[in-house]
Structures are given as structure tokens and as C-alpha cells.
Amino acid sequence: MEIPADRAIAGADLAQPLDALFVNAPLRDYSLRPRTSDFTLPVLGMGYIATYAASQGFNVGVIDAEALGLGVDQTIGIINEQSPRWAGFNLLAPTYEISARVAAGLDPGIQVMAGGHQAKAMPHDVLADPRFARLEALVLGEGETRVIELLKDWRYRSGLPGVMWLDPVMKTPQTGGGAADSRYLAPDIDGLPFVDRCFLADDPYEAPDGRYEASMVGARGCPYDCSFCGAAVSANPDITIRTRDPENILVEMDELHARCGVTAFRFVDDLFLGYERFIRKCMTAFSAHHTGSHYAWDATGRINILHRADDELLDELAANGLREVALGIESGSERLLQYMGKRITPDMTRAVVRRLVSRGISVKGYFILGFPTETRAELSATVRHVYDLWRIAESQPGSFRASVFEFRPYPGTPEWQRLLATGQYEPKQLLDYTAVDLTDGGLDQAMRGRDEFNFSVNIQFGEASISEVRERLVELSREQYQRSGTA
């Protein structure tokens, strides 16, 4: 399907010359097999950058090729047609290849900048990739303030900390210096303008229940070190972990309500309900604003923290409108949880889920199947754990839903280092992500909604074979679909 540029590009004035287009690459080339899922979370990181750039007078736009289900050539065509000064990419490990193909197809007059998790995990590989020959700035970490400096005058990139490029003559990697100014590396998240939703493809969006919902970021960084996670503290040494002032969060919520009628919010942070002190501070502010009487909100949380929380705090969360908490449950095996560095046990999870759903707070649990060293018995324990949690939530005011993934390694994470240290794998093999069609060509309704999450490096990491792992994944996703109509 052809999408005209004015529908594909969000937020820019296309009648004027464009300073930058920020591009979220599609997970796969949707011209080959169309996208089957019709919902995706917004690209808030690029939304923040675009909003900040616009506030400084630049004409910028965002193309969310994932949300729009665009093909590679289509994405290239739209960018070239608009001919911006800069194209900016958010590189994630599984979308790197496609981002590189898009970058390679751009007209020579367009300068390229890139950021995101993969940029920071493998900067030298990105700089050496011939498809990124026009990469003038690789920005490690939070982009807002450094992107603005680049848009003003990129020749001063040498003064920007954490900005890398290839020396044009020597072809050696260079890194900008300058004082490690917190303005650049950790912008004041209470001082940044709220994300202008004109840059997002589908946010706020109308949920099936008729409510308008919007996604938000309440904190940056995570202090935990779960071995598989791209947000793990050891994979993000550049990030200063910080939370927004609850009052600042409330002002954004009220503004979204006033402007767009939003009454439900989703905090997509790595970890929002991650520290007891912050949760208490937030709940004091939310209670004072009677947030629960007019808004509902969803958030990420941590089982060990919620396990320690007393009943009063959980009651306060429920009263303040907490609708669903997303928890990394990962496995039903205590050994494997320890191996992942999760700092939780299956008993703890059962207790937390029981306490939350009995208060009307729903739980979305994330699980990983096929983890390195996982035995068949451990895989079965995880499947049993999911059934246990469904049972615990039966006839409670809150519900439980399971979101199940096949393990895949991300560069820079502790698990990536551990896999490479075994000597059995090459980085190239571990980066060979391919989409797996479990939708039966789009026919299997139960698997369609989560199609974008089904991709794999096709390596057996545990005792069970890949097909056994996928069978269990499909079984659990189907069962979840039967129970709630979503997977």
C-alpha cells in the first residue's frame, strides 16, 4: 500500500525545507509480508528529540515505519523525496540491518546521524559499516541536547561528548570530547518540553473501550542487571538513572487530558515502580490530585519491590488508578531466575500477583522461553507457572495475562558477554535475527496481535529444541488469547 509522504511523516511542515527526519525502521520489510498487528507503542525517544528540536526552531518530522508497516524501498523513497538536511536513525539490535539498508539507499546530499541501544552497544561496527558511509554523528545515549547542537552546526561535533564519527581521511573512529556536561549526557528530564504528540504515529489512540490513551516516560534508566535485558545497568554505563518529579508527570497528564481528552496513561519506562521511595513520593502527589477519580494508568514494576511493599501502599496504588502492572516474571525455575540475575523467586511472584489482582490491579507478566542453560524440566516449570498465575487471578477483580517470548541475545547485555565467553558463538550468528511467522500466513488470529515480537536467531540455547520452545510459546499465547482475546 502506498502511503503519501504527508501521512507517513509526522509533525513536520512539508511546505518548508526540512532540517531532519527521524526514522524508526520497520522490524522487517513489510512490502514482503504485510504487518498483521495494528497496535504499537509510540517512539517516545524520537518524540522527545523532535519536540526539543522543534522548540529550538528546527523543522523536523518522524517516520515510524514500524507503526505504518512500511517496506524498505518505500521508506527510502519517502525520505529521498523530502530531501531533509539530516536523516536520524534509532538503532535497535533487531532493526539494525533494515536501518542500514535504508541508510544505504539515501541520496548523497542527506547527512546521517544515529543513536539508540545498538549504536551504544557496537559503535565501532556501525561506523565501519559501508552502508553507513554518510554517518556524520553516532550519538551514544540520550540524544536531545546533542542532536540540537548537530542541527545547529555539526562541524562542532568534536566538542560533544559521546558523539562518534569516522575520520574522513584516516577512516579511524573519533569521539567528541568536551567536559562531560550533564546537559548533554543526562538532560534535565523535568526541564525538557513534554513530547508533542504531533510527532507520534498513533498516540494518543482510542482504545477498544473508547478511552483515549497515551504513553509516557516517567523515569530513565534501570538500576538492575537482568542478564538478557537491553536496559540492564551494565549495558548502559552512560545513563544517569533518574525519575521525574511527580508534579511534572501530573502536569503532563493534565495537559494530555485537556488537549486530547486522554484519561488513561501507560508508563513505558524500563522500570517505573522500581524504588519504594519514588513510589511513595509519587503516590503522595497522585493522592493529593485525586488522580484515581479521573485517570487510569499502567506501569512497569518490579516483583521484589512490590513484594516488600506493605498493604497500605498497594491499596494506595489501586486507589490512585493503577490499572495494570507489567512485571518481568521470566521463568518458573528458581535456578534460572538466579542465573538471569532477577532477584526474584516463583513464590514471590505468586504472592505479588495474588496481592495485586485481589485489589483490582491487573498484571501483565513477561516470560522468556529457551533461555541459555534452560532444561526441559525448567521450561515445563515456566509453563506451569503461567497456568498457576492464571488460576490465582481467576474470579479476582484484577486479571493476569501472559506475554511470552523466545530468548534472543542483545549486544552489550551480560548474557551476550556470557554467550561469547563460551567460545561457541560468533557475534554475527547472535545478531542474525529473522522474523518467524507463527501467524500461519496471517490466518491464526491468536498469534497475529504479537507477530512483531516473533523473531529469532534460530539457535538452540537450552536443552529443548527450537521447535519445542515455539510449540510451548504458541500453546501459551493461544491459551492467553482464548482467555482474554489478546496475546
Which chain residues interact with ligand B12 by CB under 6 A?
22, 24-25, 27, 40-41, 43-46, 48-49, 66, 88-90, 92-95, 113-118, 121, 139, 142-144, 147, 217, 229-231, 268, 270, 410, 452-453
Residue 29 binds to ligand SF4 (criterion: CB under 6 A): no
Q: Which is nearer to ligand SF4, 226 or 361 (CB)?
A: 226
Question: Can you read off the three cell numbers belonging to residue 158?
Answer: 568534536
Q: How far is the CB of 162 from ligand B12 (least distance, A)?
A: 10
- Using CB under 6 A as the binding rule, the residues of this chain from 223 to 242 that contact ligand SF4 are 224, 226, 229, 231-232
Contact (CB, 8 A) for 166 and 172: yes
> What is the C-alpha separation between 161 and 177, in angstroms, rounded?
5
3-state secondary structure of 484: helix
Does residue number 328 form part of the binding site for ligand SF4 (CB under 6 A)? Answer: yes
Of 406, 413, 411, 478, give the one whose Cα is nearest residue 446: 478
Give the span between the Cα atoms of 481 and 182, in whole angstroms: 46
Locate cell 542465573: which residue? 339
d(CA 71, CA 76): 9
Contacting residue, 29, 270, 451, 479, with ligand SF4 by CB under 6 A? 270
Q: Which does 132 bind (CB under 5 to 8 A by kind): ligand SF4, ligand B12, none?
A: none
Q: Which does 24 bind (CB under 5 to 8 A by kind): ligand SF4, ligand B12, none?
A: ligand B12
CB of 148 to ligand SF4, least distance (A): 28
286 is an interface residue for ligand SF4 by CB under 6 A:
no
Q: Are strands 205-206 and 212-216 parallel, antiparallel or unpaired?
A: antiparallel
438 binds, among ligand SF4, ligand B12, none (CB under 5 to 8 A by kind): none
383-414 burial, b for 16+ CB within 10 Å, e for fewer? bebbebbbebbeebebbbbbbbbbbbbbbbbb
Should residue 415 be labelled a site residue for ligand SF4 when binding is judged by CB under 6 A? no
Provide the minimum distance between the beta carbon of 410 and ligand B12 in the complex, in angstroms, as a whole number.
Answer: 4
**98 counts as binding ligand SF4 under rule CB under 6 A:** no
Total residues in contact with ligand SF4, by rule CB under 6 A = 10
Q: Find all residues with CB under 8 Å of 382, minimum gap 6, and list them.
A: 330, 331, 332, 333, 367, 369
Q: Which does 410 bind (CB under 5 to 8 A by kind): ligand B12, ligand SF4, none?
A: ligand B12
The partner in contact with residue 226, picked from ligand B12, ligand SF4, none with C-beta cut-offs of 5 to 8 angstroms by kind, is: ligand SF4
CA distances from 271 to 202, 219, 328 (A): 23, 7, 10
CB of 213 to ligand B12, least distance (A): 14
User: DSSP class of residue 108?
Assistant: T
Residues that bind ligand SF4 (CB under 6 A): 222, 224, 226, 229, 231-232, 270-271, 302, 328
